[in-house]
Structure 1
Amino acid sequence: MDYVTVKWLHIMSSTFLFGTGVGSAFYLLVTSLTRDVRAVAVVSRQVVLADWLFTTTTAVIQPLTGYWLIRLAGFPLTSRWLSWSIMLYVLAIACWLPVVWLQMRLRDVACDADRAQAPLPALYWRYFWIWVVLGIPAFFAFVTVFYLMVAKPT
């Protein structure tokens, strides 16, 4: 494949990765804060599905197309902007992996509460706040990676 096609794949997958992540986080956050158990159960199921379909696949595609672009463009792996991009991507993924597990737990706890017609229990909120705390550095890491990919500062 030529450079433009690989770059297009890289940009499209980054858009899906970041867009799905931000969108899913927004909907789970605002729905959770309503404390509407039924809504939280429904939204958390969809967030988990979206993560598996879009975030997981693009989280794998990103480093592959990124490496391919580096090779095609002849960028040295020792470039500072590239080193920072890789480290921040690893940080974001390291935050995201436990978030996937937490989202599945949030879904399960919300669905159990919905079936029991009970409010969201304390366990839900413990998982929720850990989920929020992990999402913050992941978000800023991805935003910075986007900047580094575009600007390629020397």
Structure 2
Amino acid sequence: MALPVPVFDRKNQLGPKWAMKLRKPGPCSAGERFLSIYRNDWRTKAGLMIYDVAKFVHVTGVAMLMGNITVTAIWKFFADRDGRSEVLSFAQKLVTYTDWSMTVWGAALIIAGGYGMAISAGFPLDQGWLLWGQILFALSGLTWILRIVPIQVKQARLAKAFSAGDVGEEYRSLSRRWLAWGILSTVPLVIATWLMVAKPS
């Protein structure tokens, strides 16, 4: 049996749809359709390498971003429960350090790798799961920039002025807001990650 030849149907508004030309027509899973891209759509090893490199960059960015925001929320929550000024001051410094070293760079890798894969594979960026993935990613980013970062800046300033054993109610109130907004900003990322894996049509 001849290998299937993938043909992108640009009229489909629900997302990528691959019309398979087979000698024996039958149902074809999303995984089989995607594998057919590797076998037929790219004619050179260079094309395969570009996609694989972009995918590696994208997945690395997802691991950095999702891992950092999840772990940071957990240890900062327990640091806030501890209540000691020296512990909270150290935790607040780590929030800033990990944001710049993991969150920002993770987001940059996600963007670079994601668009690299989409362009090399010929996926339309304005349809289906790819469109919603971009919207959810942008929504999470805006929440982080407009809500979470200002809270972190205020907390960092307060942490520098901690007196022994006295944290202050303002810091505790900001911590509760930080956790709430952090959870809200994580939900769109989780949904976007599911969309990238499932690729629903």
State the TM-score, normalized to the length of structure 2.
Answer: 0.71
Does the residue aligned with 2:161 lie in a helix, a strand or coil? helix
Alignment match of 2:188 (pick from 135, 141, 144) = 141
The offset of 1:149, in angstroms, is 0.5
CA contact (8 A) 2:54 2:112 kept: no
**CA distance, structure 2, for counterparts of residue 130 and residue 94 of structure 1:** 16
The offset of 1:72, in angstroms, is 0.8
**CA distance, structure 1, for counterparts of residue 97 and residue 54 of structure 2:** 27
Gapped runs of 5+ residues in structure 2? Answer: 1-48
**The structure with more radius of gyration:** 2
Offset from partner CA, 1:4-44 (integer Å, 9 cap, x none): 11100100011001111111111111111221211111111
Does the residue aligned with 1:92 lie in a helix, a strand or coil? helix
Alignment match of 2:167 (pick from 95, 114, 120) = 120
In the TM superposition, 1:4-153 aligns within 5 A as 4-97=52-145, 98-113=147-162, 116-153=163-200
The offset of 1:120, in angstroms, is 1.4
Higher helix share: 1
> 1:124 is aligned with what amino acid?
Y
**CA distance, structure 2, for counterparts of residue 137 and residue 87 of structure 1:** 15
How many residue pairs get aligned? The number is 152
State the TM-score, normalized to the length of structure 1.
Answer: 0.91
Identity %: 26
Between 1 and 2, higher relative CO (CA 8 Å, sep ≥ 6) is seen in 1
CA contact (8 A) 1:89 1:145 kept: yes
**CA distance, structure 1, for counterparts of residue 174 and residue 196 of structure 2:** 33
Cα root mean square deviation, aligned: 1.4
Gapped runs of 5+ residues in structure 1? Answer: none
Offset from partner CA, 1:87-118 (integer Å, 9 cap, x none): 110111112113123223223212311xx214
**CA distance, structure 2, for counterparts of residue 94 and residue 4 of structure 1:** 29
Offset from partner CA, 1:35-84 (integer Å, 9 cap, x none): 12111111111121011111112222322221111101111123211111
